[in-house]
Amino acid sequence: MHICKIPEDSVTPPDEGAFVFAPGRVQGARLGKNGPCLLIEGAERFKLFTEGTDLVKILEGHGHFKWKKGETDFAPGDCFEAENPGEYEVNGSGKFLVVRK
């Protein structure tokens, strides 16, 4: 269970036009889906859960990840691999991409 920084080119975002957005807001954010990818916009704090692996690319905003075992800071352009973190939060990012594996 960990969240660690990976090279920025590890996650290439699909075209935003390819995402289908939920009609309302989810946890205060606009949530788009495209296959195994999630695009989250406008959330100051967004909770996620996975027992697998998520690749996360920060598109806008500075903040930190928070999970059971700690916290990790991020900035725009940063990419992370979240391997079996269980529940974790993305705090401070205005826009980020999650690729579920």
| Counted domains in the chain | 1
Question: Residue 39: inside a domain, yes or no?
Answer: yes
Question: Residue 81: inside a domain, yes or no?
Answer: yes
Contact 51/86 with Cβ under 8 angstroms? Answer: yes
CA-based R_g, the chain, Å: 12
Question: Residue 6: inside a domain, yes or no?
Answer: yes
The Cα 95–Cα 83 span in angstroms is 21
Question: Residue 27: inside a domain, yes or no?
Answer: yes
Q: Tokens 């269970």 belong to which residue? A: 1
Average pLDDT over residues 4-17: 91
Domain holding 52, by residue range, is 2-10+23-100
pLDDT at 34 over 80: yes
Q: What is the pLDDT of residues 53-100, one digit of tens each?
A: 999 999 999 999 998 888 999 999 999 999 999 999 999 988 999 999
The Cα 82–Cα 79 span in angstroms is 10
Question: Residue 16: inside a domain, yes or no?
Answer: no
pLDDT at position 30 is 96
CATH number of the domain that residue 44 is part of: 2.60.120.10
Give percent of the chain above pLDDT 70: 99
Question: Residue 30: inside a domain, yes or no?
Answer: yes
Question: Residue 17: inside a domain, yes or no?
Answer: no
Averaged pLDDT of the chain = 93
List C-alpha distances in Å: 94 to 47, 54, 63. Answer: 14, 18, 9
Question: Residue 15: inside a domain, yes or no?
Answer: no
10: region left, alpha or beta (phi > 0 left; psi from -120 to 50 alpha): alpha
pLDDT at position 12 is 87
